């Protein structure tokens, strides 16, 4: 741990409580006042408290990206979150307990301090959360490039860890993908997915299997609400969602439509390790008589299916 302190400002809101919700967060250098990094995202339909906690978690993750060795001071206008995270108030609601547990798990004890501030002193985070809610109401993702809260001094230290450049790419997914001027053919578009939405019958079970696997291959949960979870990758994001609109029929990958999702999973040894771990999270290995070359003799991959019939492919992209 260094003497450096990063300031996290976070906010969340819900128009209807529960209603259209979103969060906003930023990391500021308290010595200069410069904004080092920002984040915001719509959360679908969620409560105000879920949105506030989601903003906190996003802010802490940003701080880890800027400098994982720094201490963090969090400023929020949510008295509830500040008092609960400081240990002075009990957390009664199960959703709040899960979110608080997630937030506490990001840093060792004692590395993060909390301060309540009036809403008038939290205007930047409030603006970001409102931009996220506006985006959610319009059915689109938050656009950092169009935000009125600008990064005034981009972070120089992105955190040297096992993820290396991949972590940097997640911090700025647009920078990691080609721009319109760099692409030949077509309409000058980069040719990449924006997001994938997967409807599930049982969100808890899906989070335990599909959500777990997404985090293993490099996605990070960046949003949660009553009937959904969102996972951010290096540019795209994936949503798991349940709710009243999901029909009761079981998923069947052999019907017309999407058959499976395939993820880059690193070295062959990493694929093998994930196969072993995945079986503890509701997955079974498919085509085991041809594994790991079920996709062809030059294609090292594992095909897995969870309890709800969703298939994923883990592809060895190295070795």
Based on the fold, state whether residues 84 and 147 are members of the same structural domain.
Answer: yes
How many structural domains does the chain have? 2
Q: Are residues 109 and 219 in the same domain?
A: no
Query: Does 16 share its domain with 148?
Result: yes
| Residue linked to tokens 């492919």 | 313
Residue 120 resides in a domain: yes
DSSP-derived 3-state class of residue 198: strand
Q: Is the pLDDT of residue 256 over 60?
A: yes
Q: Does 24 map to a domain?
A: yes
223 and 267, same domain (yes or no):
yes
CA 149, CA 125: separation in Å to the nearest integer? 9
Q: Measured between alpha carbons, how far is 221 from 10 in angstroms, rounded to an integer? A: 17
Domain of 82, CATH number, reads: 3.30.420.10
Q: Is residue 167 part of a domain?
A: no
For residue 277, the surrounding DSSP H or E stretch is: helix 268-278
Q: CA separation (Å) from 26 to 90, 187, 207? A: 27, 34, 27
- What number of CA atoms fall less than 13 Å from residue 120's CA on the CB side? 0
Query: Residue 147 falls within a domain, yes or no?
Result: yes
> If you search the block for the tokens 């976070």, which residue do you land on?
10
Do 204 and 291 fall into the same domain?
Answer: yes
Query: Binning pLDDT at 50, 70 and 90, where does residue 161 land?
Result: very low
Please check whether residues 116 and 226 belong to one and the same domain: no
Query: Which residues form the domain of 201?
Result: 195-315
**184 domain residue, yes or no:** no
| Tens digit of each residue's pLDDT (9 = 90 or more) over 106-143 | 888 889 999 999 999 999 999 999 999 999 999 888 99
**182 within a domain of the structure (yes/no):** no
Residues near 92 by beta carbon (within 8 Å), at least 6 away in sequence? none
Task: Work out the pLDDT band at 166, boundaries 50, 70, 90.
Answer: very low
In terms of pTM, does the model score above 0.85?
A: no
Place of tokens 């721009």: 179
pLDDT in tens, 34-76: 999 999 999 998 899 999 999 999 999 999 989 989 999 999 9
Contacts of residue 210, defined as CB under 8 A and 6 or more positions apart, other chains included, come to 198, 200, 240, 306, 310, 312
Tokens 């230290």 sit on residue: 157
215 and 129 in one domain? no
- Based on the domain organization, do 119 and 230 belong to the same domain? no
Residues 46 and 148 in one domain: yes
Both structure tokens of 2: 């260094």
Average pLDDT over residues 220-248: 83
Looking at 102, 134, 160, which one is the last position of a domain?
160
Q: In terms of domains, do 78 and 204 share one?
A: no
Last residue of a domain, one of 160, 186, 219: 160
Domain check: are 156 and 228 in the same one? no
- CA neighbor of 131 nearest in space, from 280, 25, 242, 233: 25
pLDDT band at residue 208 using 50, 70 and 90 as cut-offs: very high
The Cα 16–Cα 13 span in angstroms is: 9
Residue 36 lies in a domain: yes
- Residue 163 pLDDT grade (very low, low, confident, very high; cuts 50, 70, 90): very low
Q: Quickly state the pLDDT bin for 180 (edges 50, 70, 90).
A: very low
Summary count for the chain: helices (H), strands (E): 8, 13
188 pLDDT higher than 70: no
Residue 295 has pLDDT above 80, yes or no: yes
Do 10 and 131 lie in a common domain?
yes
pLDDT in tens, 19-31: 999 999 999 999 9
177 within some domain: no
What's the CATH code of the domain at 224? 3.10.180.10
Alpha helices in 142-250 (DSSP H): 165-171, 203-206, 212-216
């Amino acid at each position: 741990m260094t003497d450096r302190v990063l300031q996290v400002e976070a906010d969340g809101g819900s128009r209807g409580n529960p209603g259209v919700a979103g969060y906003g967060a930023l990391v500021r250098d308290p010595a200069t006042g410069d904004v080092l990094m920002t984040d915001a995202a719509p959360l679908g339909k969620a409560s105000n408290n879920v949105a506030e906690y989601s903003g906190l978690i996003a802010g802490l993750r940003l701080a880890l990206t800027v400098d994982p060795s720094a201490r963090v001071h969090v400023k929020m206008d949510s008295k509830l979150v500040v008092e609960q995270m400081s240990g002075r108030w009990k957390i009664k609601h199960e959703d709040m307990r899960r979110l608080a547990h997630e937030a506490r798990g990001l840093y060792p004890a004692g590395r993060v301090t909390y301060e309540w501030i009036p809403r008038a002193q939290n205007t930047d985070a409030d603006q970001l959360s409102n931009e996220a809610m506006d985006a959610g109401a319009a059915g689109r993702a938050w656009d950092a490039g169009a935000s009125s809260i600008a990064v005034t001094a981009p972070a120089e230290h992105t955190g040297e860890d096992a993820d290396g450049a991949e972590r940097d790419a997640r911090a700025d997914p647009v920078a990691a993908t080609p721009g319109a001027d760099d692409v030949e053919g077509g309409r000058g578009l980069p040719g990449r997915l924006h997001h994938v939405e997967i409807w599930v019958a049982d969100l808890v079970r899906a989070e335990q299997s599909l959500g777990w696997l997404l985090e293993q291959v490099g996605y990070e949960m960046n949003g949660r609400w009553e009937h959904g979870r969102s996972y951010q990758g290096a540019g795209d994001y994936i949503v798991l969602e349940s709710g009243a609109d999901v029909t009761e029929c079981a998923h069947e990958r052999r019907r017309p439509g999407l058959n499976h999702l395939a993820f880059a999973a690193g070295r062959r040894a990493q694929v093998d390790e994930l196969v072993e771990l995945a079986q503890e999270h509701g997955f079974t290995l498919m085509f085991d008589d041809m594994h790991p070359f079920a996709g062809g003799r030059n294609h090292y991959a594992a095909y897995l299916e969870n309890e709800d019939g969703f298939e994923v492919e883990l592809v060895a992209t190295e070795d």
